[in-house]
Structure 1
Amino acid sequence: MLNLPARPATAAMLIASLLASAPAAMADAPVRTVYADATLIDGTGAPALTHQDIIVEGERIVAIVPHGDPAAQEATSAMIVDLSGAYVIPGLIDTHVHMATPPAPAMAKAMLRRNVYGGVTAVRDMADDVRSVAELAREARYEEIPGPDIYYVALFAGRMFFADPRVAAASQGYKPGTAPWMQAIDRETDLKDAVTLARGTGATAIKIYADLPGDLVAAITEEAQRQGLKVWAHSAVFPSKPSEGIDAGVDTVSHVCYLAYETGTQMLDAYEDRTPVDETYLEQPEDPVMAGLFARMVDHGTILDATGSLFVLQEAERKADPNAKPLRCTGAATTRLTRQAWKAGVPISTGTDTVSGADHAWPDVFDELFFLAEDVGMPAVEVIHSATEVGAEAIGVADEMGTVAPGKLANFVVLADDPLADIENIRSIRMTVKRGTQYRRADYPPVTEEELSGEH
């Protein structure tokens, strides 16, 4: 005969167990924080709203209400952060960084720290050794290090590209072109297998980089998107023309300068050919060929990762060194093309592709914001939209971040001064809130030369 425990005793034990665990469950409940009485610039491009209370529980925004609304006072344990006189914008997004070619964890962590204490809550890593980048992403995600969330690519290119020394630096231990995150592609490649390998690295997207014909660009794009990955491409892959990538349906293109190769009489055969854009083909102020290309981008919803400040900076450096090699585009042409794209309605994100030295107190993305505002002429509210909502759309996470809205991650920046009055006021940061965690600017440990050199 089976000796079963009595049912009442089992029920009693269950109730006791539940009661015992209740205090722990309550202790784990998200803490409510009310960021009270701020002027909110929500990232959508809409006008600012004054006297708003942003209610956060755990890592998410649960409500935004007028200051003093009873909803902000529902939880007696709520922590109140007085933001009267302050301004709130969404966390900034840098859509073009490189952190691990070759892996340099001390430098990368310094960059990430400078970013998050400077208002950046997400970045797009656009080709590196993903073994290092994935670990940095994990550490930043779980707040083991201060840093923005990281989204990264697996790179596809034609076989010629893999003689580039950067490949060996970012895929040590693999024959160039065989690492799952840096694959050489040709007509014999099984694209289904190649994309599956890339997806296994944890990448958000395939980056189509160089030395591929238009039909392969289209085939890669189709297979990547079929498997749920984004496609982030150079704006000219060579020998593919910019229009071929756009017509293939890539999600974003990087470097506005490369788009100008569309205007030439003949496309370069390879990425390795550094012949500059022939700017004599670019009619000023608005080129008709480029107008057609930008109209295509609008039709396809293609986002432009312009990286304009990079080309303006490089142009200034080249002028200071008469022996420097010519650039693909001048700074003036880069500015003019970006302005034409913006006026045509192309969504522009804020990517940088630069790393400043230890003497630079602020994230590199600030330079791109200032380029869009001061050189291109974009109003500050649209610059903020580019640096937030458009960046989230470029990554494919606009349902989670990019605007300050109920249900989204609590990713926002508190400023002392109005950035709509002057975009330079972006430097008046009081704190960054990333996934509900506060990073106060006053607590920022500045980047050191030792960190950037890898000695720390």
Structure 2
Amino acid sequence: MKTVYINGIVLDGSENMQPKTGLAIVTEGEKIAAVEPCQAAYDGSQIIDLKGQYIMPGLINLHVHLPASGKPKKKQSDPKKLVKLMTSNNFLRKIMLKMCEGYAKTQLMSGVTTIRTVGGVEDVDTQIRDAILAGKMDGPRILAGNMAISVPGGHMAGSLAYEATTPEQARSYVRQIAKDKPDLIKLMITGGVLDAKVKGEPGELKMSPEIVKAACEEAHALGLHVAAHVESPQGVQVALENGVDTIEHGALPSEAIIQLFQDRKACQVATLSPALPFALFDRHVSHVSEMEQYNGKIVFDGIVECAKACLANGIPVGLGTDTGCPYITHYDMWREVNYFHKFCGVSNTFALYTATKRNAELVGIGDQTGSIEVGKCADFMVTEKNPLDDLTALRNIKMVVARGKRYADPQVKKMSDVEQALDPFI
């Protein structure tokens, strides 16, 4: 049976999208069969009357860690010990898998129809991806990264990332990860705010250029793109010089870095959400040290300036939330879209385009999703108000459609303390 969405105001996801009325979106199975002037009758079809609400492509979140909720903590936990515990026996592994499945569904119920995972536990991400594709569970399309590669003392070493000590070992880990058929390889090239030991030096280079190059060469030989956690100018330069495809986070770029982005045809995946609590919250709320707040501001400003410079020089910028960091939940991709507008100075229209069609194109699935076009997947979300006027319209989703399956009145359980802390920065 075909499904026809009528009386909706269509935002198609294109760069210069304008609200369009009088159109019907016809879906058949997982695909969009037609986008046409609304007919008087659609015999034999299921009719969904949107009653003047706005229908647009589902959001795409390019930076997700499934094993964490984003719940803030007063004290830092040890991720290495936690992962060791959760993988110590089959019972705890099943609990972890169910938890990650729930978080994936939360992404979907918040209007995110595609996620890209960039560091998870063992092969959990690909397991969930495959279960969703097989119709065994509800969730978004997943581009899965599984375990990442770090170095001893590096970011997420021993928890969400293997520890490579030599270029040869890095190649071996790439091959090991590739056995579970992930969609990308993730490298942890620098430290981050919580790794910094000195004020003013977040994002310290941890991974040698030789290891970066070896991992990228091996991944590319296997047909896999490479994403890299990078939070310093030195790290960005090393990443781009040695073959990384996407810079996750970013840092204040030099002219040489801009040239490297262009030469490599690389892009930045900006993640404004995770650094904001460190940089802008009162420390009585964030429970971080003065040094961590100072370093958080450096990282936040670096991500913003990297995005602005990339956009000014025609370098694509994508968006992701870094879900799992403190205060960064699985239902708040709408905040990242809003921050992109607020802090990087792009229009509401460009922000929504980035979170839909452009994000899809940047990770190679622009032919499948990201816009409302014939032949693409029926991946939609519906809002009561127009996000082109106010991006906070994305906060309240009235309907989600993923690969043709419709979820009316989707609900997510929200954390009131997180909402209260983040809302002043909308």
Distance 1:322 1:237 in 2: 20
Please name the residue that 2:266 is paired with: 302
Deviation per CA, 1:4-58: give whole Å up to 9, x if none.
Answer: xxxxxxxxxxxxxxxxxxxxxxxxxxx2101123222222213223322111111
Deviation per CA, 1:163-198: give whole Å up to 9, x if none.
Answer: x7x54445xxxxxxxxxx73625134483x543322
Pairing 1:427–2:395 present: yes
Please name the residue that 2:240 is paired with: 246
Say if 1:358 and 1:448, in contact at 8 Å, map to a contact too. no
- Mean Cα deviation higher: 142-151 or 345-354: 142-151
Pairing 1:83–2:50 present: yes
Distance 1:357 1:159 in 2: 23
Number of equivalences: 369
- Mean Cα deviation higher: 331-340 or 196-205: 331-340
Among candidates 204, 225, 234, match of residue 230 of structure 1: 225
Distance 1:85 1:157 in 2: 48
**Alignment RMSD, CA only?**
3.1
Please name the residue that 2:178 is paired with: 199
Say if 2:149 and 2:170, in contact at 8 Å, map to a contact too. no
Aligned pairs for 1:176-195 (under 5 A) are 182=162, 184=164, 186-189=166-169, 191=171, 194-195=173-174
Please name the residue that 1:61 is paired with: 32
Q: Secondary structure at the match of 1:55?
A: strand
Distance 1:230 1:190 in 2: 15
Unaligned runs of 5+ in 2: 68-78, 87-95, 190-205, 417-426
Say if 1:35 and 1:55, in contact at 8 Å, map to a contact too. yes
Aligned pairs for 1:348-367 (under 5 A) are 348-355=317-324, 363-367=331-335
1:306 CA drift (Å): 1.2
Deviation per CA, 1:140-184: give whole Å up to 9, x if none.
Answer: 33444332122222555454247x7x54445xxxxxxxxxx7362
1:67 CA drift (Å): 2.1
Please name the residue that 1:217 is paired with: 212
Aligned pairs for 1:396-407 (under 5 A) are 396-407=364-375
Normalising by structure 1, report the TM-score: 0.72
Distance 2:106 2:327 in 1: 10
Distance 1:374 1:304 in 2: 18
Distance 2:105 2:174 in 1: 32
Structure (1 or 2) with the larger CA radius of gyration: 1
**CA separation of 1:309/1:415 partners in 2, compared to 1, >3 Å: closer, same or farther?**
same
Say if 2:125 and 2:146, in contact at 8 Å, map to a contact too. no
Q: Secondary structure at the match of 1:50?
A: coil
Distance 1:292 1:35 in 2: 49
Distance 1:138 1:247 in 2: 34
Please name the residue that 1:41 is paired with: 11
Unaligned runs of 5+ in 1: 1-30, 171-180, 263-288, 450-456
Say if 2:400 and 2:407, in contact at 8 Å, map to a contact too. yes
Please name the residue that 1:413 is paired with: 381
1:355 CA drift (Å): 3.5
Distance 1:44 1:125 in 2: 25
Say if 1:34 and 1:81, in contact at 8 Å, map to a contact too. yes
Please name the residue that 1:311 is paired with: 275
1:404 CA drift (Å): 1.6
Q: Secondary structure at the match of 1:135?
A: helix
- Mean Cα deviation higher: 365-374 or 142-151: 142-151
Q: Which amino acid aligns with 2:212?
A: V
Distance 2:265 2:56 in 1: 25
Please name the residue that 2:65 is paired with: 98
1:307 CA drift (Å): 0.8
1:231 CA drift (Å): 0.9
Please name the residue that 1:323 is paired with: 289
Q: 4+ runs of 1 displaced by more than 6 Å?
A: 356-360
Normalising by structure 2, report the TM-score: 0.77
**CA separation of 1:317/1:153 partners in 2, compared to 1, >3 Å: closer, same or farther?**
same
Q: Secondary structure at the match of 2:63?
A: strand
